[in-house]
Structure 1
Amino acid sequence: MTHIYHRIFDQFRVFDSEGVSREDDFEGTAQWLESPGCLFQRNNFILDRMIRSEGVIKAGLFVTIVLKGSGQGGPHRDVTRFRYSENSIVVMALRKPQLWSGEASGGVRMFAAGLAFPKASIDRLGLQREFLELFSSAQSDEFVVTLKAPPRILAMATEMLSPTLDGRAEELLLSAHAMEILARVISIAGKRASMEMAGDHKQRRLRAIRDAIDADLRRPWKVSQLAREAGISRRSFNTHFRRAFGVSASEYLRTRRLESARDAIIEQGISINEAAYLAGYGNPANFATAFRKHFGYAPSRCRLPPN
């Protein structure tokens, strides 16, 4: 039997901090809406432990309306990807399939509505032009933005998460809200994309700085040096960097080092001491403390059992 998530993923895994599969838990809160042709994910629970998901996500438009909760996710190659928090909307558009990963810490109350529109649904609804206009160029395959959720969208998301109807009436209401959310979000996201394209020269310089950090995480980067290379004053550099990527340059570097160390533990089986060195920590205990604070679990839990 085809898993409901195969409608939006070519491959996927959902597992907790102990490596236990959680796909079936989340499948029970997912629903396919024939009109407009999207997967609706109802998230209304408290996570008992850290949850991580990964896989190859298909082309399409993905919207998450977060009323309560926090976490991160997005295309795997871009580690900042997106970070979500209360009363926000995350919009991700993909022109072609991408490696994807996401995670949320244990103990977090999640109250969020997720809508995933495959590219075929976008085309069938006549929104192909609006979809393509989200990308900054013909070579760009992804668009990710986090926005403050307008009251109307928050109200619709709340009703989708706690419907007052049932049966066919509930399905019709969910479909109507999904259609309206799609129309409003693609319009809002399109305006944001136009603004970003207008400032594309500065964006390219900031992306070049980010890529330089990614290429040499062990280098002792200084904010003054990064600002100079970006051609931006030090006073305003972090403001521009945070606006572009959601975090300051120093927070980005710290996160990249920790996530690189985590991936090395999982994928290469390196020791905790080696991971600490990779993340720039001379003391493994300090590394473990920073790791636990950032991810919500100890680095030793990254040694997951094989699939």
Structure 2
Amino acid sequence: MNTVLHPQELIRQIGPELGPQLRLIDSESSQANLFRGKLRWLHLRSGLALHCSDCHELSTFSTQLQIEPRLNFVVFLDGYSDVRYDDRAVRFGAEHRHGEGIAVSLAEPVLFSRQARRGSHIRKLVISLAPQWLEAGGLDGQNQCAAIDRFSRQHLAMLRWQPSARLRTLAEQILNPPGYNPLLENLYLESRSLEIASEALAMISQQGRQPLQGLRPHEHQRIRRVLELLDSGQADHWNTETIAREAGININSLQRQFQASQGMTLFEYQRVRKLKQAREALERDGISVTEAAWRAGYGSAANFATAFKRQFGLTPRQVRSKL
């Protein structure tokens, strides 16, 4: 059933766990209607959640929400969204007629922001797998799970793919389920969500099995120039497109060559480099943890501490206490 959602109804729909944490920013009116259509947030079982949307955006506004570690599988059928993970801007959307699938690894807590635009029509769903769900499913870094394990441990790793016809059918079924009673509908949605998650995990696994091509001499030289640019700090506030343009190469080729050379994405290299610089400042200069978080590009000291411990095995305070 189509409904009209205003801010308080949106918070109620999201539920008691996340609703009160949702922040509404830049709304045309705090009492304005936000959406018309169908929006759902469902916890299908422990560690498995579903969000689906088939709605028109009635106002221009932004939302912010703190998200805990998880794997997200996003399927866009129509429309697009501009989102941010902390300071990283990304556009998700169906720019071609077959839609778009995106796998996103959130290995650390992150501040998620989304920009809504009046007049847009969005048809999408998001399936979330929490770390405990993956562990219970046997994700142990062995054999065919190795690529999935690596992907899930790399913060803000992303993989885009074109959904299969079967996946698009499953997404349509989730957006328009039959009129079952609540128990049967939950099972119906869970089974289709798991099928979509299965296709997404298979894509990640296949990507991990594809051997990286060796670089040619001129490609090695290009990556060395990119590394010099990154290490100089000049590109700290540049997006990937700007870096690629400076290197004289398209984004996809830059990402492929950088991964082949460094064993990580360009974004991950920047993140680790800034964490190392923050650690040096903590150890050498005794700066505060808040200052170190700011230097590393984190708006939250708690998120910085989580990323720092994941990288170095010590908390920022433990490093600073050794002075």
Q: What's the TM-score, normalizing by structure 2?
A: 0.57
Residue in structure 2 matched with residue 114 of structure 1 by the alignment: 126
Task: Tell me how far apart the structure 2 counterparts of residues 178 and 122 of structure 1 sit (CA, whole Å).
Answer: 15
Provide structure 1 residue ranges, at least 5 long, that are not aligned to the other structure: 228-233, 245-307
More relative contact order, 1 or 2 (CA 8 Å, 6+ apart): 1
Kept in 1, the 8 Å contact 2:105–2:153? The answer is no
SS of alignment partner, residue 43 of structure 2: strand
The structural deviation recorded for 1:103 is 2.1
Residue in structure 2 matched with residue 268 of structure 1 by the alignment: none
1:161 corresponds, among 165, 172, 175, to 175
Residue in structure 1 matched with residue 93 of structure 2 by the alignment: 84
SS of alignment partner, residue 133 of structure 1: helix
Residue in structure 1 matched with residue 198 of structure 2 by the alignment: 183
Residues 11, 27 of structure 1: alpha-carbon distance in 2 compared, 3 angstrom cutoff:
farther
Residues 98, 142 of structure 1: alpha-carbon distance in 2 compared, 3 angstrom cutoff:
same
Map 1:280-299 → 2, pairs under 5 A: none
Query: Given the alignment of the two structures, is residue 47 of structure 1 paired with residue 62 of structure 2, yes or no?
Result: no
SS of alignment partner, residue 111 of structure 1: strand
Task: Tell me how far apart the structure 1 counterparts of residues 62 and 28 of structure 2 sit (CA, whole Å).
Answer: 10
Structure 1 residues 67-88: Cα deviation after superposition (integer angstroms, max 9, x where no partner): 1110122422323x34322510
Residues 178, 16 of structure 1: alpha-carbon distance in 2 compared, 3 angstrom cutoff:
farther
Residue in structure 2 matched with residue 59 of structure 1 by the alignment: 69
The structural deviation recorded for 1:112 is 0.9
The range that moved more, 7-16 or 51-60, is 7-16
Provide structure 2 residue ranges, at least 5 long, that are not aligned to the other structure: 1-10, 258-323
Task: Tell me how far apart the structure 2 counterparts of residues 2 and 184 of structure 1 sit (CA, whole Å).
Answer: 31
Q: One-letter code of the match for 1:188?
A: M
Residues 16, 67 of structure 1: alpha-carbon distance in 2 compared, 3 angstrom cutoff:
farther
Q: How many residues align?
A: 231
Task: Tell me how far apart the structure 1 counterparts of residues 188 and 145 of structure 2 sit (CA, whole Å).
Answer: 24
Q: One-letter code of the match for 1:118?
A: A
Structure 1 residues 27-59: Cα deviation after superposition (integer angstroms, max 9, x where no partner): 96212112x742211201111123422232111
Kept in 1, the 8 Å contact 2:106–2:152? The answer is no
The structural deviation recorded for 1:173 is 0.9
Cα RMSD between the aligned structures? 4.3
Kept in 1, the 8 Å contact 2:82–2:91? The answer is yes
Q: One-letter code of the match for 1:107?
A: G
Q: One-letter code of the match for 1:112?
A: K
Q: What's the TM-score, normalizing by structure 1?
A: 0.59
SS of alignment partner, residue 44 of structure 1: strand
Map 1:83-102 → 2, pairs under 5 A: 83-86=92-95, 87-102=99-114
Residue in structure 2 matched with residue 142 of structure 1 by the alignment: 156
Residues 19, 222 of structure 1: alpha-carbon distance in 2 compared, 3 angstrom cutoff:
same
Q: Whose Rg is larger?
A: 2
| Percent of residue pairs bearing the same amino acid type | 15
Residue in structure 2 matched with residue 252 of structure 1 by the alignment: none
SS of alignment partner, residue 164 of structure 1: coil
The structural deviation recorded for 1:131 is 7.1
Task: Tell me how far apart the structure 2 counterparts of residues 9 and 132 of structure 1 sit (CA, whole Å).
Answer: 35
